[in-house]
A and B are shown apart, each in its own frame.
Chain A
Amino acid sequence: MKQIFTALSLGALFLGAPAFADAEVGTAAPAFTLKDETGKEHSLAQYKGKVVVLEWTNPECPFVQRHYSADTMANTLKGFDAKKVVWLAVDSTAHNTPDKSAAWKKTEGFSYPVLQDASGTVGKSFGAKTTPHMYVIDEQGVVRYAGAIDDDPRGKSDKKVNHVKAAVDALLGGKAVPTATSTPYGCSVKYKSS
């Protein structure tokens, strides 16, 4: 009887594997290797030992535009120790091109790479639904935060809490992440229709 249950539950785990592929807090982040807008490859594995912030983005989305005009991302990154934290933007928009990313990066004047995921494979492996949708991955490659950049979807609060900043500060300080998930808000990721 016991063996049967064990076999069944193991079977369920394997069968269920694709369903569990989302980057869930507390589990290892899905591995990936993507080229940035200049063609340089970045893999999650190469940043082991550093805290990695992933930002799903799409310059055409009004929510992303609002955060870039307010410099939310740049200001958040500025608050971290550059030796310990890596910031990677990922664009899973089906019709995005490296040239568009390069042009946008120049206009907005930020320094971190924009990873090119027009196929949507990496976005879907993380379960990224919105732009912006943020993930914080610890030094061992485990997801520690998934959700919105802050608690202010409408951009009107003067007392907003920046969840990404709180999560990274907690990780670097050896503390528990105060808010491990939040509901991401924004435009949907414009994935390639499959």
Chain B
Amino acid sequence: MAAAAWAEVPASAVGTGAPDEGDPRVEATLLVDSTQVKPGDTFRVGVRFRMDPGWHIYWKNPGDSGLETDVTWDTPGSTVGPLQWPSPNTFRTPDGFITTHGYEGEVLLFAQARAAQDATGQLQLSAAAEALVCEVHCIPAELMLTRSVPLGTETVRDAEAMRAFDAAQAKVPRPTADTGHTVQLALDAKQLTAGQDFTGTLTVTGPGGAALPATEGDFFTPERIEGVASVALTPAGAGRFKLKGKAEPDVPGAEPRLTGVLRLGTAASGYQPLAVDVAMAPVVAAGGAVAAAPGVKLPSVKDSIAAVKPVAAVVPAAAPADSSVGLGLALLFAFLGGALLNLMPCVFPVLALKAYGFTRMVQQEQGRVASHAAAYAGGIIGSMLLLAGAVLAVRAGGASVGWGFQFQEPLFVAAVSAVLVAFALNLFGVFNVGMDGTALAGKVDSSHGLLHSAGEGVLAVVLATPCSAPLLGTAVGFAFAAGPLTVLAVFTALGLGLALPFCVLVLVPGLAKKLPKPGAWMERFKQVLGFALLATTVWLVWVMGGLAGVDGMARLLAFLVAVGLGTWVYGQSQLQEGGRRLASVAVAVLVLVGAGVASLRFDGLAPEARASSTVARTQPWDSAAVTAALEAGQPVFIDFTADWCLTCKFNERTVLSRDEVRAAFTEHQVAFFVADWTRRDARITAKLAEHGRAGVPMYLVLSPGAPDRPEVLPELLTADLVVDAVKRAAECSPSRRKDGSNIVCAVGFPRP
């Protein structure tokens, strides 16, 4: 690539600079990709810098030292766009103390240009290039480069120059909006505190949910971010990066955005640079004085509760779909959502059971009501914290999970089914649970020992997870995207909400006495409840069918029979004494373990492809297909669901499959997509997280008129709500708007 190859390059377009003891360290050339330009046409113009070996110039964020390379254009008769920066390299001093970003060898910094319609004669192109050229020491270079391009009736490209521009263009990071990648940033705090460290997680998914290629070396180069002193990423599993940064002590006016180049791929596989640009959070001043000690400020629950008060008044107005939820609001939502969970079909049987227990207790052992309520609440909160711990542990392992994720695991479904069956048999009187050895003495109703109350709390949580209640999705979504302490705090609030009904029963004097008087009806009621639990088991068996097919269901049923047998043998043992009793218990245990080992093998079992759900014509969710439908002018409805999600099934059967809803879908030519989360699916988990959710159900309505701003519908649907949303989306379609629709889409769609 000697100068001879660029025969037409005039001497005025080439300059040298940064003389180092008489030897120039940089040579710059003004390049144009066309030898002739037609007025009104676009062309590319740029400055190619060639540095001596070991010398470099700087990127737009030079890093710790150095200076941004600058090109100022003077181009009468044409306009030049912003400078395009190929992906930079990172340079470090040997001790690693100073890091800079720039280019060595050769780089073409270029821009798109357009000749004016009325331009005549020749286009004069002048570039004033200013670069700091550094090896160990630095030399500033200022270069004036000029050349002219004739105007003509056709634009004639220069093949050689085109190659140089194309090569440079290929290295320019592309915006994720163009590449189809999704980038989501979850900071661990709602705000950045001036002068303090902050952390978060960046999740990146490939186009159509594809897995992200590996990264290596200096894969992330941040731009200069006002208000942020430093920011760095470290890989944390596929498509996930831990973000660590530090806010500047000054509070900027605007909210900082995380901007920079994310370089995907390896030297072996080739690099793909992406331009990342996502909002971070506003920077707030450190509490009072600027002299706050450095270090991470742990969010305290007390602060958050204090923060709830002023926000609470806004709750009814704030749509649950709003993803910008603060910790305080999240805690409130978690608490209310937890209380509402009691009314959802998953938890209701347990609630009824507990109510039954209380009725009896109020009469027989009044003094212990409070301690039982405490044990029940303790069981709930304890298992909530365990769940939170599991979430954190799985997340630390690099996988992503969501609300109800444990139902994606066949063994877990089997275990819960077994517990339910055993519980039901206990209610039928097949066996007793004796905690203090007085089971047969009949003096104390041992089936309501304190441990039993705690156990019911645990069961309530276990059964609650496949249900989502209003407000809950927002709170849990917030927690899942946040730091460990927030997760624990939100789950605790959730547990408190779930335990609320019984705490109220105990705390409000006289209320407990209003419960109906116990009698013979209670024994029958207890047994009816046993059937309610068995009905819940039917649902779990069906879930298993979705996870592991007919074979899986058969294995689970076989195991449940063994559970029945084992508990029956155990019940018999309670009537026996001494050695025979022990032998019976041993047989019971043997039956259970043996049946478990023999039947609970779900590896390799897969569900058969099932006929589409109860809802109209559906297709499996796929980003590319969604984009295609939107481009075709169709509104899009996406149903994020799972077989084990009762709320989802309820919505599908009572709302989405209704005739009026189906008719609306047909009328507006809605493309209906189902994202099935019954089994683990990282793409769906990522999509949920993008909308601040950690679990299903979630319903998205996308309009072809505003495809980047989906409307998130509430967890509990109504037919009117769905029809309205779909209609709104359809009327915002660009093709419909031509028909004189006066709907103002920016206002009516979507909700802010």
Which one, A20, A129, A142, contacts B98 given CB within 8 A? A129
Residue of chain A at shortest CB distance from B62: A185
Question: Within 8 Å CB of A124, what residues of B?
Answer: 97
Is the C-beta of B377 less than 8 angstroms from some C-beta in chain A? no
- Name the interface residues of A153-184: CB closer than 8 Å to any CB of B: 153-154, 176, 179-181, 183-184
Is the C-beta of A49 less than 8 angstroms from some C-beta in chain B? no
Please report the C-alpha to C-alpha distance between residue A111 and residue B693 in the assembled complex, in whole angstroms: 64
Interface flags for B52-78 (1: CB within 8 Å of A; 0: not) read 000000000010111110100000000
Residue of chain A at shortest CB distance from B98: A188
Question: Within 8 Å CB of A186, what residues of B?
Answer: 65, 67
Please report the C-alpha to C-alpha distance between residue A180 and residue B195 in the assembled complex, in whole angstroms: 10
- Find out whether the CB atom of B66 lies under 8 angstroms from the CB atom of A188: yes
Residue of chain A at shortest CB distance from B137: A60
Which one, A5, A130, A193, contacts B64 given CB within 8 A? A130
- Find out whether the CB atom of A187 lies under 8 angstroms from the CB atom of B94: no
Please report the C-alpha to C-alpha distance between residue A5 and residue B300 in the assembled complex, in whole angstroms: 11
- Find out whether the CB atom of A154 lies under 8 angstroms from the CB atom of B250: no
- Find out whether the CB atom of A183 lies under 8 angstroms from the CB atom of B95: no
Is the C-beta of A62 less than 8 angstroms from some C-beta in chain B? yes
- Find out whether the CB atom of B64 lies under 8 angstroms from the CB atom of A26: no
Question: Within 8 Å CB of B293, what residues of A?
Answer: 27
CB of B252 to closest CB in A, whole Å: 11
Question: Within 8 Å CB of B66, what residues of A?
Answer: 185, 187-188
Please report the C-alpha to C-alpha distance between residue A97 and residue B635 in the assembled complex, in whole angstroms: 73
Residue of chain B at shortest CB distance from A123: B97
Which one, B95, B139, B298, contacts A9 given CB within 8 A? B298
Is the C-beta of A61 less than 8 angstroms from some C-beta in chain B? yes
Which one, A5, A129, A176, contacts B65 given CB within 8 A? A129
- Name the interface residues of B95-147: CB closer than 8 Å to any CB of A: 95, 97-98, 100, 130, 132, 134, 136-140
Main secondary structure of the interface of A (DSSP, over half): loop
Question: Within 8 Å CB of A190, what residues of B?
Answer: 136-137
Is the C-beta of B229 less than 8 angstroms from some C-beta in chain A? yes
Is the C-beta of A150 less than 8 angstroms from some C-beta in chain B? no
Interface flags for A42-64 (1: CB within 8 Å of B; 0: not) read 00000000000000000011110
- Find out whether the CB atom of B67 lies under 8 angstroms from the CB atom of A153: yes
- Find out whether the CB atom of A188 lies under 8 angstroms from the CB atom of B130: no
Question: Within 8 Å CB of B195, what residues of A?
Answer: 24-26
- Find out whether the CB atom of B136 lies under 8 angstroms from the CB atom of A181: no
Question: Within 8 Å CB of B95, what residues of A?
Answer: 191, 193-194
Question: Within 8 Å CB of A25, what residues of B?
Answer: 195, 249, 290
Interface flags for A142-153 (1: CB within 8 Å of B; 0: not) read 100000000001
- Find out whether the CB atom of A26 lies under 8 angstroms from the CB atom of B249: yes
Question: Within 8 Å CB of B136, what residues of A?
Answer: 190
Residue of chain A at shortest CB distance from B130: A154
Question: Within 8 Å CB of A185, what residues of B?
Answer: 62, 65-67
- Name the interface residues of A14-57: CB closer than 8 Å to any CB of B: 16, 20, 24-27
Is the C-beta of B248 less than 8 angstroms from some C-beta in chain A? yes
- Name the interface residues of A99-144: CB closer than 8 Å to any CB of B: 124, 129-130, 142
- Find out whether the CB atom of A181 lies under 8 angstroms from the CB atom of B249: yes
Is the C-beta of B170 less than 8 angstroms from some C-beta in chain A? no
On chain A, the number of residues with a Cβ less than 8 Å from chain B's Cβ atoms is 35
- Find out whether the CB atom of A9 lies under 8 angstroms from the CB atom of B249: no
- Find out whether the CB atom of B294 lies under 8 angstroms from the CB atom of A20: yes
Question: Within 8 Å CB of A153, what residues of B?
Answer: 67-68
Is the C-beta of B3 less than 8 angstroms from some C-beta in chain A? no
Is the C-beta of B295 less than 8 angstroms from some C-beta in chain A? yes
Which one, A9, A62, A180, A191, contacts B93 given CB within 8 A? A191
- Name the interface residues of B422-436: CB closer than 8 Å to any CB of A: none
Q: Tell me whether A188 and B93 are in contact in the complex, defined as CB-CB below 8 angstroms, given that A25-B249, A26-B291, A129-B64 are known contacts.
A: yes
- Find out whether the CB atom of B249 lies under 8 angstroms from the CB atom of A188: no
Q: Which of B62, B134, B139, B248 has the most CB of A within 10 A?
A: B248
CB of A95 to closest CB in B, whole Å: 10
- Find out whether the CB atom of B298 lies under 8 angstroms from the CB atom of A187: no
- Find out whether the CB atom of A180 lies under 8 angstroms from the CB atom of B249: yes
Please report the C-alpha to C-alpha distance between residue A60 and residue B68 in the assembled complex, in whole angstroms: 20
Is the C-beta of B743 less than 8 angstroms from some C-beta in chain A? no
Residue of chain B at shortest CB distance from A189: B98
Is the C-beta of A7 less than 8 angstroms from some C-beta in chain B? no
Q: Tell me whether A62 and B294 are in contact in the complex, defined as CB-CB below 8 angstroms, given that A129-B98, A130-B65, A194-B95 are known contacts.
A: no
Is the C-beta of B511 less than 8 angstroms from some C-beta in chain A? no
Please report the C-alpha to C-alpha distance between residue A193 and residue B98 in the assembled complex, in whole angstroms: 11
Is the C-beta of A70 less than 8 angstroms from some C-beta in chain B? no
Interface flags for B220-236 (1: CB within 8 Å of A; 0: not) read 00001000010000000
Question: Within 8 Å CB of A191, what residues of B?
Answer: 93, 95, 97-98
CB of B87 to closest CB in A, whole Å: 21
Please report the C-alpha to C-alpha distance between residue A124 and residue B98 in the assembled complex, in whole angstroms: 10
Q: Tell me whether A181 and B250 are in contact in the complex, defined as CB-CB below 8 angstroms, given that A130-B65, A154-B70 are known contacts.
A: yes
Please report the C-alpha to C-alpha distance between residue A16 and residue B224 in the assembled complex, in whole angstroms: 25
Q: Tell me whether A187 and B65 are in contact in the complex, defined as CB-CB below 8 angstroms, given that A9-B298, A62-B140 are known contacts.
A: yes
Q: Tell me whether A24 and B250 are in contact in the complex, defined as CB-CB below 8 angstroms, given that A129-B64, A129-B65 are known contacts.
A: no
Question: Within 8 Å CB of A4, what residues of B?
Answer: none
Question: Within 8 Å CB of B210, what residues of A?
Answer: none
CB of A92 to closest CB in B, whole Å: 10
Interface flags for B409-433 (1: CB within 8 Å of A; 0: not) read 0000000000000000000000000
Please report the C-alpha to C-alpha distance between residue A181 and residue B249 in the assembled complex, in whole angstroms: 7
Is the C-beta of A12 less than 8 angstroms from some C-beta in chain B? yes
- Find out whether the CB atom of A24 lies under 8 angstroms from the CB atom of B139: no
Please report the C-alpha to C-alpha distance between residue A184 and residue B68 in the assembled complex, in whole angstroms: 12
Please report the C-alpha to C-alpha distance between residue A102 and residue B553 in the assembled complex, in whole angstroms: 88
Which one, A27, A176, A187, A188, contacts B294 given CB within 8 A? A27
Residue of chain B at shortest CB distance from A193: B94
- Find out whether the CB atom of A5 lies under 8 angstroms from the CB atom of B291: no
Please report the C-alpha to C-alpha distance between residue A20 and residue B140 in the assembled complex, in whole angstroms: 33
Question: Within 8 Å CB of A181, what residues of B?
Answer: 229, 248-250
CB of A122 to closest CB in B, whole Å: 13
Please report the C-alpha to C-alpha distance between residue A179 and residue B294 in the assembled complex, in whole angstroms: 19
Q: Tell me whether A188 and B290 are in contact in the complex, defined as CB-CB below 8 angstroms, given that A62-B140, A193-B95 are known contacts.
A: no
Question: Within 8 Å CB of B65, what residues of A?
Answer: 129-130, 184-189
- Find out whether the CB atom of B250 lies under 8 angstroms from the CB atom of A180: yes
Please report the C-alpha to C-alpha distance between residue A67 and residue B426 in the assembled complex, in whole angstroms: 87
- Find out whether the CB atom of B93 lies under 8 angstroms from the CB atom of A187: no
- Find out whether the CB atom of A13 lies under 8 angstroms from the CB atom of B249: no
Residue of chain B at shortest CB distance from A25: B249
CB of B468 to closest CB in A, whole Å: 28
CB of B507 to closest CB in A, whole Å: 24
Question: Within 8 Å CB of A193, what residues of B?
Answer: 93-95
Question: Within 8 Å CB of A26, what residues of B?
Answer: 195, 249, 286, 289-292
Please report the C-alpha to C-alpha distance between residue A189 and residue B140 in the assembled complex, in whole angstroms: 16
Question: Within 8 Å CB of B286, what residues of A?
Answer: 26
- Find out whether the CB atom of B64 lies under 8 angstroms from the CB atom of A9: no
- Find out whether the CB atom of A12 lies under 8 angstroms from the CB atom of B97: no
- Find out whether the CB atom of A13 lies under 8 angstroms from the CB atom of B291: no
CB of A124 to closest CB in B, whole Å: 6
Please report the C-alpha to C-alpha distance between residue A116 and residue B473 in the assembled complex, in whole angstroms: 61
Residue of chain B at shortest CB distance from A192: B95
Is the C-beta of B296 less than 8 angstroms from some C-beta in chain A? yes
Which one, B97, B98, B138, B249, contacts A24 given CB within 8 A? B249
Please report the C-alpha to C-alpha distance between residue A61 and residue B229 in the assembled complex, in whole angstroms: 24
- Find out whether the CB atom of A180 lies under 8 angstroms from the CB atom of B98: no
Please report the C-alpha to C-alpha distance between residue A181 and residue B496 in the assembled complex, in whole angstroms: 45
Please report the C-alpha to C-alpha distance between residue A9 and residue B224 in the assembled complex, in whole angstroms: 30
Q: 12 A-B contacts, Cβ less than 8 Å apart?
A: A5-B298, A9-B296, A24-B294, A25-B290, A26-B289, A60-B137, A63-B138, A183-B224, A185-B62, A188-B64, A188-B65, A189-B65
Knowing that A27-B293, A181-B250 touch, tell me 4 more A-B residue pairs with CB under 8 angstroms: A20-B294, A26-B292, A62-B132, A188-B98
Query: What 5 pairs across the A-B complex have the smallest Cβ distances?
Result: A188-B65, A129-B64, A25-B249, A193-B94, A130-B65
Interface residues of A (CB under 8 A from B): 5, 9, 12-13, 16, 20, 24-27, 60-63, 124, 129-130, 142, 153-154, 176, 179-181, 183-191, 193-194
